[in-house]
Amino acid sequence: MFNVVITGSTKGIGRGLAEEFLRRGHNAVICSRSAADVEAALTDLNGAGGRCSGLPCDTSDKTQLEALWEHAVAEFGQVDLWINNAGTATSRHAVHALPGDMTRQLITSNLLGTTFGSQVAIAGFIEQGHGRLYNVLGGSFSGKPLVPNMGVYSATKAGVHRLTQYLLKENENPDILIGMISPGVLITDNWLAEQRHLTEAEWAELRPMMNMMSDHVSTVAPWLTEQLLSNTRQGRRIAWMTGARMAGRFISTRLLGRKRDLFSQYGL
């Protein structure tokens, strides 16, 4: 049985992963900046299999992350797996035009929060002698391709990638496994809200590609959970949308004409 901490886990892929771990009989600690969101999620998740606990936590505050670790240890005795998932994907602006508050939110949530979370998890794992840490990457972390109007977001995720490489170099302990997760393009409430800011013409141009590349959390979370539980390879990037899967989607939708319609149910 694993005791799992997932940051940013009352919604989206974090919530999906928590559900899947619990369904398999593992224990999970969830968190969000909103106490109300944590309480609502706990109401839904408890009784799903394993035990679920939660705590409000702003990941840009290291003290709150330390409290999250202590809460998990108090509840379950130890932390076996820590996933730094909390982050923000809002952008849709050129770098020079991104508002200051949005710029600050992207950097503090994605890069500072993941850095603090990694510090807390690694320190805890060293003390208890073992553990698994995974940092969640996002689109364009490698800079290939350069997605329009996602410069600051992509820069933060490139920073998370480099941060994780340093964690691997600095912590050559076989009992502390470090890796990354690339969940792909997932249809979440926040993602849908971003698309609704597009004009009809912009969405019409983007929709075919998004139908080919996107997935529901309920499709991806079970696969990611199985990979996280079974992986023993240090430094692995667990990626849903691999080159092979991407090529298969392209052949299926573009060459064989097999339509995917993921968005009509959302009025898009």
| Predicted confidence (pLDDT) at residue 148 exceeds the cutoff of 80 | no
Greater confidence (222 vs 213) lies with: 222
Question: For residue range 256-266, what is the model confidence (pLDDT) as tens digits?
Answer: 878 889 999 99
- In 10 A of CB 62, how many CB atoms? 16
Instruction: Name the pLDDT band for 48 (thresholds 50, 70, 90).
Output: confident
Greater confidence (213 vs 92) lies with: 213
| Predicted confidence (pLDDT) at residue 59 exceeds the cutoff of 70 | yes
| Predicted confidence (pLDDT) at residue 183 exceeds the cutoff of 90 | yes
| Predicted confidence (pLDDT) at residue 36 exceeds the cutoff of 80 | yes
Rounded to an integer, the average pLDDT of 144-173 is 88
SS3 187: strand
| Predicted confidence (pLDDT) at residue 85 exceeds the cutoff of 70 | yes
| Predicted confidence (pLDDT) at residue 146 exceeds the cutoff of 70 | no
Question: For residue range 162-182, what is the model confidence (pLDDT) as tens digits?
Answer: 999 999 999 989 999 999 999
Instruction: Name the pLDDT band for 125 (thresholds 50, 70, 90).
Output: very high
135 phi and psi angles, rounded to 5 deg: -105, 135
Q: Chain centroid to CA 71: how far?
A: 21
| Predicted confidence (pLDDT) at residue 40 exceeds the cutoff of 60 | yes
Q: Are 227 and 180 in contact (CB under 8 A)?
A: no
Q: Are 27 and 3 in contact (CB under 8 A)?
A: yes
Q: So what's the pLDDT on residue 68?
A: 98
Q: Measured between alpha carbons, how far is 64 from 57 in angstroms, rounded to an integer?
A: 6
Q: Measured between alpha carbons, how far is 252 from 260 in angstroms, rounded to an integer?
A: 9
Q: Chain centroid to CA 227: how far?
A: 14
| Predicted confidence (pLDDT) at residue 195 exceeds the cutoff of 90 | no
**Residue 16 parent element (H or E):** helix 12-23
Strands of 81-84's sheet in order across: 52-56, 27-32, 3-6, 81-84, 131-136, 176-182, 237-239
With CA atoms as reference, report the closest residue to 181 among 249, 241, 119.
241
Q: Which domains does the chain have, with CATH numbers?
A: 3-187+216-243 (3.40.50.720)
**Residue 182 parent element (H or E):** strand 176-182
Rounded to an integer, the average pLDDT of 128-141 is 89
Q: So what's the pLDDT on residue 258?
A: 87
Tokens matching residue 46: 């408890």
Rounded to an integer, the average pLDDT of 239-261 is 89
Instruction: Name the pLDDT band for 217 (thresholds 50, 70, 90).
Output: very high
| Predicted confidence (pLDDT) at residue 141 exceeds the cutoff of 90 | no
Q: Measured between alpha carbons, how far is 268 from 264 in angstroms, rounded to an integer?
A: 5
Q: What percent of the chain stands above pLDDT 70?
A: 97
Q: So what's the pLDDT on residue 104?
A: 93
Instruction: Name the pLDDT band for 220 (thresholds 50, 70, 90).
Output: very high
Q: What does pLDDT average to over the chain?
A: 92
Q: So what's the pLDDT on residue 224?
A: 98
Rounded to an integer, the average pLDDT of 125-142 is 88
Q: So what's the pLDDT on residue 57?
A: 98
Per-residue b/e over 231-253, b at no fewer than 16 CB within 10 Å? Answer: eeeeebebbbbeeeeeeebeeeb
Greater confidence (123 vs 88) lies with: 123
Q: How far is CA 183 from CA 35, 67, 89, 166, 240, in A?
A: 26, 27, 13, 22, 5
SS3 content of the chain, % helix, strand, coil (to 5): 55, 15, 30
In order, the DSSP letters of 55-83 are: EE--TT-HHHHHHHHHHHHHHHSS-SEEE
